[in-house]
Amino acid sequence: MADYFVRGTAGDDYIRAFAGTTKELVEKARSLHNLSPVASAALGRTLTATGMMGLMMKNDQDLITVTFAGDGPMGSMTVTADCHGHVKGYVQNPAVMLPPNARGKLDVGGAVGKGILRVIRDTGLKDPYVGEVEIRTGEIGDDLTAYFWESEQVPSVVALGVLMNHDNTVREAGGFIIQLMPGAPDELIDTLEQNLSIITSVTDLLKEGLSPENLLELALAGLNPVFRDRTEAEFKCNCSKERVTKALLAIGAEEIQDMIEEGKTVTLNCGFCNKSYDFTVDDLKALLTAAKENT
Ligand SMILES: [Zn+2]
């Protein structure tokens, strides 16, 4: 089954919910960046959550970027999504290896470490909206739950999971986000809490073959979930030679001059998808000439 996100409401619209399967998407990220198992789990959870957060945005051109700037051995992690199910992301140290945590699971919290979780919503205005909270456990779901509460005052549950195969490919990935709207009655909250208390592992449920709709049916049992639209989920980067050229120009004319004098073709990789772009000495010379004409 191809990856997708589903959006829904429940409990007379006092609840809004998102769920998704992201196995292919996370596997693509793993292979593009050559991610270790713990880095696959960390980036996979963040890609899944950010994809759903992208669907919360209103306008076609809006972008959301989630960054975990932690002090763990994985370094920082950045994921960007649009509102069409397209996500991309990377971690600073994709090869990070750690022993399992106390529960025998991939130690995502240890890989992320302590630091700041930053959410940037770019809606095309001059100043993007930026929300910041301290990283709690580094397990991603907990941290985003804290973000929604502290920064947006929306009580939320964020459940995410990535399960790896023994050959280090991705076996299952997905999750859900459930949010309470203001004024939700107590009985509704009690039912939701009871439902959630029996969901201990998203990956177990995905392994059993549950779809995103099934996940929400379980979490929202007795609350009349209504499913709205499905959105295909995909790891997709919009880099191009033009964009990479801009990044190269930002390095500065002096550096480009140095590269020309070295006389070798320069290869730049896109941080998000690792695609490489070659610039020959002639390319660099043309670039420099054009840059000088523009100043
Ligand atoms: Zn790219």
Q: Measured in angstroms, how far is the CA atom of residue 6 from the centroid of ligand 1?
A: 26
The reported pLDDT for the residue numbered 1 is 58
**Ligand 1 centre distance from Cα of residue 24 (Å):** 17
pLDDT in tens, 220-266: 999 999 999 999 999 999 999 998 998 888 888 888 999 999 998 99
For the cut 90, the answer to whether the pLDDT of residue 290 exceeds it is: no
* CA–CA distance, 140 with 110 (Å, rounded to integer): 11
pLDDT digits (tens, 9 = 90+) for 83-102: 999 999 999 999 999 999 99
* C-alpha to C-alpha distance for 158 and 182, rounded to whole angstroms: 18
pLDDT confidence of residue 119: 98
Average pLDDT over residues 207-217: 96
Residue count (the chain): 295
Distance 265 CA to ligand 1 centre (A): 20
Quote the ligand 1 centre to 273 CA distance (angstroms): 4
Same-domain check for residues 228 and 247: no
Same structural domain, 163 and 205: yes
Three-class secondary structure of residue 8 per DSSP: strand
Looking at residue 253, what is its pLDDT?
Answer: 87
What total of structural domains would you count in the chain?
A: 2
Shared domain for 181 and 123, answered yes or no, is yes
CATH code for the domain of 218: 3.55.30.10
Name the domain boundary from 212, 235, 258: 235
- Among residues 175, 151, 157, 130, which one has the least CA distance to residue 22? 175
- Ligand 1 centre to CA of 92 (Å) is 15
- DSSP for 56-88? T--STT-EEEEEEEE-STT--EEEEE-TTSEEE
Domain that holds residue 277: 241-294
* % of the chain beyond a pLDDT of 70: 99
The Å distance, Cα 51 to ligand 1 centre, comes to 17
Distance 42 CA to ligand 1 centre (A): 20
Residues 288 and 209 in one domain: no
Q: Which two tokens stand for residue 28?
A: 């693509």
Cα of 240 to ligand 1 centre, how many Å? 7
Domain stop point among 210, 235, 260 = 235
For residues 207 and 111, state if they share a domain: yes
Q: What is the pLDDT of residues 172-183, one digit of tens each?
A: 999 999 999 999
d(CA 274, ligand 1 centre) in Å: 6
| pLDDT (tens digit per residue) in 36-89 | 999 999 999 999 999 999 999 988 899 999 999 999 999 999 999 999 999 999
Instruction: Retrieve residue 111's tokens.
Output: 């890989």
CB neighbourhood size of 85 (10 A) = 22
Q: Are residues 41 and 168 in the same domain?
A: yes
Q: Are residues 12 and 98 in the same domain?
A: yes
Residues 47 and 140 in one domain: yes
CA of 173 to the centre of ligand 1 (A): 22
> 293 pLDDT exceeds 80?
no
175 plus 256 within the same structural domain: no
Q: Is there a single domain that holds both residue 156 and residue 94?
A: yes
**Mean of the pLDDT values across residues 210-223?**
97
For position 265, which CATH number holds? 3.90.1280.10
**What pLDDT is recorded for position 7?**
97
Instruction: Give the rounded percent of residues in the chain with a pLDDT score beyond 90.
Output: 87
- What residue spans of 161-265 are helical by DSSP H? 186-197, 202-207, 212-219, 241-251, 253-262
Do residues 168 and 116 both lie within one domain? yes
Ligand 1 geometric centre to CA of 236 (Å): 8
CA distance 220 to 8: 10
- How far, in Å, CA of 178 to CA of 155, rounded? 9
Do both 109 and 247 map to the same domain? no
